[in-house]
Amino acid sequence: MLAQNTDKVNIDFLKDLSGVKNADDLEQIRIKYLGRNGVISKLFNQLKHVAIEDKPALGKNLNLLRSEVTSQIEKLKSSFVSQKSKGDLQMDLTLPGKKYQIGSKHILTQTLDEIKSIFKEMGFSVHVGPELESDYNNFEALNFPKNHPARDMQDTFFISKDFLLRTHTSPVQIRLMENMKPPVRAIMPGRVYRNEAVSARSFCMFHQVEGLYVDTDVTFAELKGTLVSFASQFYGEDLKYRFRPSYFPFTEPSAEMDITCFICKGSGCKICKNTGWMEILGCGMVDPNVFENVNYDPEKYTGYAFGMGIERIAMLKYGITDIRIFFENDIRFLKQF
């Protein structure tokens, strides 16, 4: 009984559908078959009167019918709509698309991300530390004694006698080594502060990435290898470089790494002070005094550390000549990257 009704409804529907001429006709058909008191609803109501063993098959048929009817109606409906738009409006595909805004990370964040991904692939972890630091972590543990001229290398904002705004990310090295045993291999990005007059070339706040690798057989030769690999991934394969002796209290021996000035390609210009070289980072072998301060055995372990300024790198890479623009946050600047 119900099965036959189902077939009949299907045939009636197809007949009705063939007579549809416009969207209004279609809506009438939709109400007739799919409305709350429509033909198909009624069929569903009959379902409760059929024998229990027939229910699954009949139910399935009814659902099929409903979805078939629904899809036929929808299909016809969309054809009416597209006919209509063809008739009413010749679409102008040259109109601009609707605007969608994807934000962006600050260019300094993007630069750091690039640096981070290179070192992460080499097996470095990433750690962070606080900006308001103790004098001990920022200086003393790193082998800058009180009243030592080396402190002049980093003009400091003091908060109190024993607290300051960290002048470099190196105190994170101390925090890390105090909390774990070797091997330690990590980079440590963060914000640092220097009490220097603000100008186009320097700002009182900037960002650094610190690197540290300590194990039983880490050598200066590996330090060079790691940094050369980093620099050629970051600056380009055909890079020329040199390591120049320098001085940092927490490394011994210490070095600065220069690469060919990419403004003048080494022929000498104002930016590289006619040397043809551009300094990109400081590095060295971890000083034994630092190891002693964190209770590592300096006879057993050796290690290297390095650090670079992110603003400087971004300025060179993107041709930015005034460091202050990073922190003005002019939306036109932020949207460029």
Partner 1 sequence: MKISLNWLKEYIDLEGISIQDIINKLTMSGLEVEDFVNQNEKFKNFIVGYVEENEKHPNADKLTICKVTDGKKSYQVICGAPNVQKGQKVVYAPIGTIIPKGNFEIKKAKIRGVESFGMICAEDELGLGDDYTGIMVLDSNLKVGQKLSDALELNNVIMEIAITPNRPDALSHIGVARDLTALFDKELKIPEVKLNESDIDINDVASIVIEDEENCPRYSARVVTDVKIEESPGWLKQRISGIGLKPVNNIVDITNFVMFECGQPLHAFDLDRLEGKKIIVKSTKGKTKFTTLDSKERELLPDTLMICDDKGDVAIAGIMGGENSEIYQDTKNVLIESAYFNPSSIRRASKHLQMSTDASYRFERGTDPGNTLYAAERTAQLIAKIAGGEIAKGSIDVYPKKIDNKKFILRHNRVNKVLGYKISKQHTLKIFNRLGMKTTELSEDEIEVTVPTFRVDIEREIDLIEEIARISGYDNIPTIPKISISLGLKHDETLFTDRIREYCNALGLYELINNPLQPKHFAALTGNAIEVSNPQSIDMKYLRTSLLSGVLNVVTRNLNRGEKNLALFEIGNIFNLKKGKKVVSSFNDFDEEEILIFVLTGNKIEREWYSDTESFNFYDIKGMVNSFIDKISLDNLLNDSYYTTDNSIYEYYLTKFFKDRVIGNGGKVKDHVLKQFDIDQDVYCFEFNLDALKEIPVVSKKYAELLRYPRIILDFAFIFDKETKFEDVSEFIKNKGSKLLKYVNVFDIFESKEIGDNKKSIAFQLEYYDSSRTLTENEVEKDFENLIKLVSKKFNAKLRGN
Candidates 31, 57, 126, 200; binder of partner 1 (CB under 8 A) is 126
Which is closer to partner 1, CB of 79 or CB of 85?
85
Residues 194-233 that bind partner 1 (CB under 8 A): 195, 197-198, 203-205, 215, 217, 219-222, 224-226, 228-229
Unique residue bearing structure tokens 């009438």: 28
111 part of the interface to partner 1, by CB under 8 A? no
CB nearer to partner 1: pick between 32 and 116: 116
For residues 283-312, which are near partner 1 according to CB under 8 A? 285, 287-288, 302
Closest listed residue to residue 279, CA positions, set 242, 314, 247, 306: 242
Q: To the nearest whole angstrom, how small is the minimum distance from the Cβ of residue 19 to partner 1?
A: 28
Q: Does 139 bind partner 1 (CB under 8 A)?
A: no
Nearer to partner 1, 21 or 161 (CB): 161
**Restricting to residues 66-85, which ones interact with partner 1 according to CB under 8 A?**
none
The residue within the footprint of partner 1, chosen from 26, 73, 127, 135 (CB under 8 A), is 127
- Whether 169 and 209 have beta carbons less than 8 Å apart is answered as yes
Rounded distance, CA 308 to CA 325, Å?
A: 20
Selected binder of partner 1 within 68, 113, 178, 297 (CB under 8 A): 113
Pairing of strands 241-248, 251-260: antiparallel
Give the one residue of 18, 101, 295, 321 binding partner 1; rule: CB under 8 A.
101
Site for partner 1 in 7-66 (CB under 8 A): 36, 41, 44, 59, 63
**Nearest distance, CB of residue 13 and partner 1, angstroms:** 19
From 307, 330, 308, 326, select the one nearest 318 (Cα to Cα).
326
Between the alpha carbon of residue 309 and those of residues 17, 203, 206, 234, the distances in Å are 73, 12, 7, 14
DSSP string computed for 95-126 = SPPPP-------HHHHHHHHHHHHHHHTT-EE
Q: Specify the 3-state DSSP secondary structure of 277.
A: strand
Nearest approach, Cβ of residue 12 and partner 1 (Å): 21
Among 55, 75, 148, 201, binds partner 1 (CB under 8 A): 148
The set of residues, in sequence order, having a beta carbon less than 8 Å from that of 270 and lying 6+ positions away, is none
Residue 18 CB, nearest approach to partner 1 (Å)? 28
From candidates 120, 201, 240, 265, binder to partner 1 by CB under 8 A: 120
Burial 114-132 (b: 16+ CB within 10 A, else e): ebbebbeeeebeebebeee
DSSP-assigned letter for residue 180: -
Q: Does 104 bind partner 1 (CB under 8 A)?
A: yes
CB neighbours of 22 closer than 8 A, spacing ≥ 6?
80
**From candidates 73, 185, 278, 306, binder to partner 1 by CB under 8 A:** 185
As separate numbers, helices (DSSP H) first and strands (DSSP E) second, the chain gives: 12, 9
Kindly state the smallest distance separating residue 105's Cβ from partner 1, in Å: 5
Cα(312)–Cα(111) distance, rounded to whole angstroms? 10
Number of residues that bind partner 1 (CB under 8 A): 96
Of the residues 171, 189, 282, 309, which one makes contact with partner 1 according to CB under 8 A? 189
Judged by beta carbon, residue 13 or residue 303, the one nearer partner 1 is 303
Q: Among 2, 122, 271, 325, which residue interacts with partner 1 (rule: CB under 8 A)?
A: 122
162 binds partner 1 (CB under 8 A): yes
